[in-house]
Structure 1
Amino acid sequence: MIIRENNIKVENFSQEFILEIDGKKDLFKDAVFFDLEHYLYKKPICIGVFGCCYYDSNDNELKVTQYMIEGKKDALPILDMAKNYFKEMYEKYNKRYIVTFSGNNDFTVIDYLFDKNKVDYNIDDYYKKIDLQREYEKLMGANIGLKNLEKIFDIEREGELISGSNLSKTFCKVMKDFDYMNRMPEEKKQRILLYNEQDVVSLFQIYIDWKKFLKKEVE
């Protein structure tokens, strides 16, 4: 399994632009920002990459953690590591919210795999979910994808975009061929990890700049 941790400096941001949830602007300090890359075939098969970050106000940094499977043997351990990450964030760092974008798919996958593999953990028992896609729909009355929302927020990604279908095909091969990851170029592995990292970092950036770029249209 590949374990990747990274600290990303956060530029100064204004309190006036932060997304309010239940009239509160500071919930992002008590949140983890979460995104999965996964493989499904009729039903969820495995998590390919587990990605999360949280904001450290002392260092003014995002602390990013990622787990990426390298073969079928990692399919169960990555679930245990995901569970332990959520437990540590809750117990040690007092996190109480999970921020996603269209998170239903990710939660459906991880909940199904937890249950199937008898991993005793229910995310809903500990965390309240905040879905930025739903918040956008409530405000603007329309649906939007993450990449289009990033354009509105002037978020520029490093490297090329990767489609969900291509990622799914990659993890299908990983699950079926024990040596596939050994033959995969290091550049491709890092590209997948960077793509997932930028997903979770974008969630934070959108959250804190929410009112800077989004205003409800008044007729």
Structure 2
Amino acid sequence: MESSLTIDGNKQLFKDALFFDLEHYIYKKPICIGVFGCCVYDEISKELKVTQYMAENKKDAIEILSLAKNYFEEMKMKYNKKYIVTFSGNNDFTVINYLLKAHKTDFLLQGYFGEIDLQKCYEKAEGTCIGLKALEKKFDIDRESELISGSNLAKTFGKIVKDDDYINRMPQEKKDKILLYNQQDVVSLFYIYIDWYNRVNLKTEEITAQQ
């Protein structure tokens, strides 16, 4: 994949990376992770493997933190993943680290992997800020999922953590749309990453991962 983004002088870094995105609910402070989404490139099968966890009640919202911790540790220890790729990931890192601390989970994501923020990479290369959906258009990525506003997602997750039976009243179609939306986010990150130099004019010095 000759057009993939070079980080730390490594054009093959995507093989050692996680592509990560959260859907979450914040009210004055982080309340919960609604959907945890991550994908990795499987070099043997030459395909993406997506992992998602979605909260269906308040208890699940806490359990997701344990699942996330186990996932990250397994990816690093067993599969030797070294980097985590996001789009404007500071908010997601702030939310998950706040919740990990709040629920006394013996883990922090911050600094666990080298961090690559594609929004910052684009801004460094092109000198302008861009949103993910606009960048997808630049890369000719057609979404399978419908766009869902952050406020609508927050309202849904707010109802889920306040009412344990709400998930049972939610149409399956709505659950599927939320999961597909998150899946599209992480999959888009991968395809943007590997097609980078076909679409972006790099006008700056070599990009390095943030530790």
Q: Which runs of 5+ in 1 are unaligned?
A: 1-14
User: Structure 1 residue 104 and structure 2 residue 90: aligned?
Assistant: yes
Give the aligned partner of residue 128 of structure 1: 114
Deviation at 1:16, TM superposition (A): 2.3
Deviation at 1:22, TM superposition (A): 1.8
Deviation at 1:155, TM superposition (A): 0.3
Q: Which runs of 5+ in 2 are unaligned?
A: 205-211
Deviation at 1:138, TM superposition (A): 0.5
Aligned residues of 2:87 and 2:132 also touching (Cα < 8 A): yes
> What's the secondary structure of 2:9's corresponding residue?
coil
Give the 4+ runs in structure 1 shifted more than 4 A.
Answer: none
Deviation at 1:112, TM superposition (A): 0.2
Length-normalised TM-score, structure 2:
0.94
Give the aligned partner of residue 211 of structure 1: 197
Distance 1:197 1:86, change over 3 A: same
1:150-192 residue CA offsets vs partner (Å, 9 max, x unmatched): 0000000113110111100100011111111000000100000
Aligned residues of 2:93 and 2:110 also touching (Cα < 8 A): no
1:83-116 residue CA offsets vs partner (Å, 9 max, x unmatched): 0000010011100100000000000000000001
The within-5 A match list for 1:25-174 is: 25-174=11-160
Deviation at 1:216, TM superposition (A): 4.0
Q: Distance in 2 between matches of 1:217 and 1:124?
A: 29
Q: Distance in 2 between matches of 1:177 and 1:122?
A: 29
Give the aligned partner of residue 186 of structure 1: 172
Deviation at 1:56, TM superposition (A): 0.3
Give the aligned partner of residue 6 of structure 1: none
Which residue type is aligned with residue 211 of structure 1? Answer: Y
> What's the secondary structure of 1:172's corresponding residue?
helix
Give the aligned partner of residue 207 of structure 2: none
> What's the secondary structure of 1:16's corresponding residue?
coil
Which residue type is aligned with residue 184 of structure 1? Answer: M
> What's the secondary structure of 2:96's corresponding residue?
helix
1:35-57 residue CA offsets vs partner (Å, 9 max, x unmatched): 00000001000000000000001
Which residue type is aligned with residue 82 of structure 1? Answer: A
User: Structure 1 residue 177 and structure 2 residue 167: aligned?
Assistant: no
Residue identity over aligned pairs, in percent, reads 68
Which residue type is aligned with residue 8 of structure 2? Answer: D
Length-normalised TM-score, structure 1:
0.91
Which residue type is aligned with residue 25 of structure 2? Answer: Y
Which residue type is aligned with residue 118 of structure 1? Answer: K
Q: Distance in 1 between matches of 2:177 and 2:162?
A: 21
Which residue type is aligned with residue 62 of structure 1? Answer: L
1:116-138 residue CA offsets vs partner (Å, 9 max, x unmatched): 10001122343110000000010
